[in-house]
Amino acid sequence: MTNRRPRLIATEEAFATPELLAAMRELGPGPDRMLEMGGIWGRLRDNAPSALMDALLDLGEGRLAAMDAAGIDMHLLSLTSPGVQLLDAATATEVAARSNDRLAAAVARHPTRFAGLAAVAPQDPAGAAAEIERAMRTLRLNGVVINSHTDGEYLDQPGFEPILAAAEAFGAAIYLHPRRPPAIFDAVMANDVMDLSAGMWGFAAETSLHAVRLIMSGAFDRHPGLRLVLGHMGEGLPFWLYRLDYMYHVDRRLRGRTRPERPPSDYFRTNIAITTSGMNHLPALEYCIAVLGTENLMFAIDYPYQETGEAAAFIRSARLSEAERDRIFFANAERIFHIAPATA
Ligand code: MN
């Protein structure tokens, strides 16, 4: 051990590229689509100024200054939600590749400050699988980000199998990031009076659904090496582990359920990691440590959507042993995302 301040890696930090902005602008007036991420895409379409969009586009000095001000050593960058997942398959595949090139260049410029998750286009599963290989082998990126559903479809569905297989084969953890739930949710989540479909509720409700679908489909039995990462303190699922297991055993006894092979909670030990993004709440952190331990728990901010200073102060205020702190601050991220350890 050294006496140096432990390095702090933030693992769910968003950026955007000009290619993505241009493609989103061309999508046209579809109002539902432009509501993604609190309406920033609508402002983009209207050419309205957006400090948020400026922060997303900055892969240089402005971002580094925000990190330095709060003692953040590294951003693990990911193309902001919904990424390329609203675009047609060919455009999405192209924009993902160009954004990944841009990401790799930023990491090359600042290798101790940035790492990156590749964007892929699930609309073209074979193309996405090829991009995962290119991102991990050629671009030396650190994993993959997928913004939950694609056109209302989920990664446990058979068509997406090449993506899961490639992620497993090339050691690319899939960071399952939220986006606006499919339009069918609007009937119960979004109307003229209130819209619960974004960060307040819909993101976590739909992303946790996606993760449970993956677990219950046996995805981690088919792909034992597959790693899934959930933000927002596990999108609520750590609180549900007892009940997921209870109902799993009921299903096995009464209905002969055969998948998954192990109780759902067990996959949080072997295949699923969580991050603190956007959940700067000590009781929730302490609860997650109590039920999950600290081997699969990582720090994240959700830059620029949430406050860097608050997130840094939150994690530094947690009562952690030195070993727990090192795992949460940097060691788990280094292991799960293949990030090179800091040199002394
Ligand atoms: Mn985020």
Q: How many residues does the chain have?
A: 344
Peptide bond into 304 cis (omega under 30): yes
Distance CA 301, CA 299 (A): 7
- Split at pLDDT 50, 70, 90, the class of 33 is low
Ligand 1 centre and the CA of 2: distance in Å?
A: 32
Percent of the chain with pLDDT over 90: 84
Ligand 1 centre and the CA of 37: distance in Å?
A: 9
Ligand 1 centre and the CA of 1: distance in Å?
A: 32
Strand partners, 176: 146, 230
Ligand 1 centre and the CA of 276: distance in Å?
A: 11
Residues 273-326: tens digit of each pLDDT = 999 999 999 999 999 999 999 999 999 999 999 999 999 999 999 999 999 999
Burial of 248 from C-beta contacts in 10 A (0-12 / 13-18 / 19+)? buried
Note if 302 is an active site residue. yes
Q: What are phi and psi of 107, to 5 degrees?
A: -65, -40
Distance CA 179, CA 202 (A): 8
- Give me the pLDDT at residue 32, please: 59
Residues 146-203: tens digit of each pLDDT = 999 999 999 999 999 999 999 999 999 999 999 999 989 988 988 888 889 899 999 9
Distance CA 232, CA 254 (A): 34
Phi-psi region of 234 (alpha: psi -120 to 50; beta: other; left: phi over 0): left
The candidate with the shortest Cα–Cα distance to 241, out of 276, 216, 266, is: 266
Which structure tokens are listed for 34? 């432009």
Which structure tokens are listed for 130? 């090829």
- Give me the pLDDT at residue 26, please: 85
Residues 89-106: tens digit of each pLDDT = 999 999 999 999 999 999
Whether the pLDDT of residue 44 is over 80: the answer is no
Question: Helices 237-255 and 202-216: crossing angle, nearest 10°?
Answer: 40
- Give me the pLDDT at residue 38, please: 65
Ligand 1 centre and the CA of 58: distance in Å?
A: 16
- The residues near 244 (Cβ < 8 Å, ≥ 6 apart) are 212, 215, 237, 263, 264, 265
Q: What is the mean pLDDT of residues 243-272?
A: 96
With residue 81 as reference, give the H or E element that holds it.
none
Per annotation, catalytic residue among 32, 266, 302, 326: 302
pTM: 0.96
DSSP character at residue 150: B
Strand partners, 272: 228
Strand partners, 117: 78
Distance CA 61, CA 57 (A): 11
With residue 138 as reference, give the H or E element that holds it.
none
